[in-house]
């Protein structure tokens, strides 16, 4: 179990550097790729940002929240869970 450290125990600069690496790297690229796939009609996704968070972070979402109090895309828990369920259902149905 991961326990969130008190804010006083973590350097604000370290937290921001970590967050910048997460949000400007893989998450933003994946979210943009999903949005372009939806726009082109290649994908059917209700919430591209939440879907990117789910695909990249089935556990990452909770780990980042516990460690630094932030999550990819600032996706709320309800949106995250909805996208997770949508993705799981699509996987089970073979993408149908």
Interacting residues of 45 by C-beta distance below 8 A, sequence separation 6+: 34, 37, 38, 51, 83, 86
Tell me what pLDDT residue 17 has. Answer: 75
Which pLDDT does position 59 carry in this prediction?
A: 62
Token match 């556990």: residue? 59
Domain range list for the chain: 12-92
Residue 2 pLDDT > 60, yes or no?
no
Residues 61/70, Cβ–Cβ less than 8 Å: no
pLDDT band at 30 (very low <50, low <70, confident <90, very high): confident
């Amino acid at each position: 179990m991961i326990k969130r450290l008190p804010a006083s125990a973590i350097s604000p600069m370290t937290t921001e550097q970590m967050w910048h690496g997460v949000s400007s790297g893989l998450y933003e690229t994946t979210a943009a790729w999903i949005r372009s796939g939806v726009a082109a009609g290649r994908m059917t996704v209700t919430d591209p940002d939440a879907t990117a968070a789910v695909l990249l972070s089935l556990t990452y979402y909770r780990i980042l929240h516990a460690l630094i109090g932030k999550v990819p895309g600032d996706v709320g828990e309800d949106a995250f869970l909805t996208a997770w369920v949508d993705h799981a259902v699509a996987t089970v149905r073979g993408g149908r």
